[in-house]
Amino acid sequence: MTTMIIDAEPGKISASVEKTALVIIDMQRDFLEPGGFGETLGNDVSLLAKAIPPAKALLAAARRAGMLVVHTREGHRPDLSDAPPAKVNRGSPTHRIGAPGPMGRILIRGEPGQDIIPELYPIEGEVVIDKPGKGAFFATDLGLVLANKAIDTLLVCGVTTEVCVHTTIREGNDRGYRCIAVGDACGSYFPEFHDVALRMVKAQGGIFGWVTDAARVVSALEASAAEAAE
Ligand code: C5J
């Protein structure tokens, strides 16, 4: 086992690299690129772009370390049979889930907009989880994938911080995973929600988990690799 010690709040956390998974939440064109779901909801998608370089650095380090990498994509079946009417019937009818947009039907599996941005595109061997809800555990086989690899710690990043990232961390925490939010590799259309969401994770002695940043994870991984090579 290779141990890494990640500097984080509310305190350092020691984890086995083999038992840690990087979970990248919903870094999809529909949320990050103009013309997608996020923009049709009236959001400034450029606010999410600053999460891309830290997420890229994190992904590269996880790949070098041979860590399990999981990518999630929020989206629905083309017939919307897995999309609750309460979720679909919100906002203007032209901007709803399933409506046509410049990147295909909004948040529909298989459409270009529902796919992951090129900068973080999955490679062979990485797990892609299509999820119908905000949390990555809800109505998916993520728990099974993690159990089969004996994973006990999750490094979580992606978009948006206070919605799908936060819901996944809460779900993971309740399932017994040690969840570490990688703050600068998360993004929100609302900077104040981003900040408060991260504060909520680490408050009360880490009520939902830990918060760190990409550079601190990369340096923990480099240090563990150097020690293993000695
Ligand atoms: C949202 C997400 N915000 N991935 N989805 O609808 O956070």
For the Cβ of 26 lying below 6 angstroms from any atom of ligand 1, the answer is: yes
Q: Tell me whether residue 89 is exposed, middle or buried, using C-beta atoms within 10 angstroms of its C-beta: 0 to 12, 13 to 18, 19 or more.
A: exposed
- The residue from 30, 134, 157, 164 that is catalytic is 164
Cross-strand pairs, 71: 24, 128
Output the pLDDT for position 86.
95
pLDDT along the chain (230 residues), means of 10: 96 98 98 90 94 98 98 98 94 85 95 98 98 98 98 99 98 98 98 98 98 98 92
**179, 25 contact by CB (below 8 A):** no
20: amino acid identity, one letter? T
Q: Ligand 1 center to residue 19 CA distance, Å?
A: 27
> Has 44 been annotated as catalytic?
no
Output the pLDDT for position 228.
87
| Interatomic CA distance for residues 146 and 143, integer angstroms | 5
Output the pLDDT for position 14.
98
> Has 30 been annotated as catalytic?
no
Output the pLDDT for position 148.
98
> Has 174 been annotated as catalytic?
no
Residue 167 in tokens? 């819901």
3-state helix, strand, coil in the chain (%, to 5): 45, 25, 35
- DSSP for 84-129? -HHHHS-S-GGGSTT-EEBTEETTBTTSGGGSBPGGG---TT-EEE
| Interatomic CA distance for residues 58 and 99, integer angstroms | 34
CA distances from 161 to 73, 126, 130, 205 (A): 15, 22, 18, 20
Residue 2: alpha-carbon gap to chain centroid: 24
Output the pLDDT for position 230.
83
Cross-strand pairs, 5: 14
| Interatomic CA distance for residues 172 and 209, integer angstroms | 9
- Of 74, 96, 117, 189, the one to substitute when testing ligand 1's pocket (max ligand atoms within 8 A of C-beta) is 74
Output the pLDDT for position 78.
98
Q: What is the pTM of this model?
A: 0.98
For the Cβ of 164 lying below 6 angstroms from any atom of ligand 1, the answer is: yes
Output the pLDDT for position 93.
77
